[in-house]
Copies of this chain bind each other. A is one copy, B any other.
Amino acid sequence: MIGKLNHVAIAVPDLEKAANTYRETLGAKVSAPHPVPAHGVTVVFVELPNTKIELLHPLGDKSPIAGFLEKNAGGGIHHICFEVEDVVAAGETLKAAGARVLGDGAPKIGAHGNPVLFLHPKDFFGTLVEIEQVPAA
């Protein structure tokens, strides 16, 4: 079912500093910050040859990553995202297998404009898993 690893998302307390570290210390290609108000985050994309790292910082009062940064003040890996062809079908298959889909179970439009679902980390060994519907290339 799952296809490519679309991205690894890392929550960081200082987005400019993290972007500079990835750009200057690690020598990666790093985007400008993209505010995504609907998701309560500002994102910097680190483009690698085969996938992306997304550096996330809270945006607004109800950011879903604010609590994570309270518990992990220095930052940390927040989630990983796998691509699927059909996120509704994938969600049904996962639920039938006993995995919990977060929220109301309906896909939301993610930061890349594609429908996404998040799966409960307790069902995936402490890893918050996002699945994103990405049309076949």
| A interface residues (Cβ-Cβ under 8 A, vs B) | 1-5, 8, 10-13, 18, 21, 24-28, 48-51, 53, 55, 72, 74-77, 80, 82, 93-94, 97-99, 121-127
Contact = CB atoms under 8 A, between A and B. Distances in A.
Contacts of A125: 10-13, 18, 21, 55, 74-76
B77 A80 contact: yes
Number of copies: 2
Given A48-B82, A50-B50, A74 B126 contact: yes
A76 B127 contact: yes
Contacts of A127: 10, 75-77
A21 to B, nearest CB: 7
